[in-house]
Amino acid sequence: MSGWLLLALACGAGGDDTGDAADGGLDSATEAFCQDAPVVTWNSFGQGFTTEACQTCHASTTAERNGAPDSVTFDTLDDVRAHSDRILARATGDEPDMPPRGGVSDDDRARLEIWLRCWLEEE
């Protein structure tokens, strides 16, 4: 799993490519990962997830950031796009460490990874 993640970070996430898995817009590792992935979007999942799991510390308006960097906020879809490679690194994969105290289910981490890797560039 972590190998795939590294590959995606190295060549996939953050590009300005608007293609989808079907027409070869994603690199092959991502394409394989995304092949039968369910549709996950900001509206269906991302906004609610980041609000609950991350924004207590990361929102631009939060009163107590608990040390979360001012520059790392997830208020909007564009904010998430700007940080998607770091979100993948810190909140998905084999040893996620965001949020720092855990509390996110494996299912939600899987949805997060699918959203960021397969659908983010299409929204």
Q: Which residues bind ligand HEC (CB under 6 A)?
A: 53-54, 56-58, 66-69, 72, 83, 86-87, 90-91, 98-100, 104
If the CB atoms of residues 52 and 122 are measured against ligand HEC, the closer one turns out to be 52
Q: CA 3, CA 21: separation in Å to the nearest integer?
A: 19
Smallest distance, ligand HEC to C-beta of residue 31, A = 24
If the CB atoms of residues 21 and 72 are measured against ligand HEC, the closer one turns out to be 72
Smallest distance, ligand HEC to C-beta of residue 111, A = 11
- Number of Cα atoms under 13 Å in the Cβ half of residue 113: 24
For residue 99, say if its preceding peptide bond is cis, omega within 30 degrees of 0: yes
Q: Which of these, 103, 98, 102, lies nearest to 83 by C-alpha position? A: 98
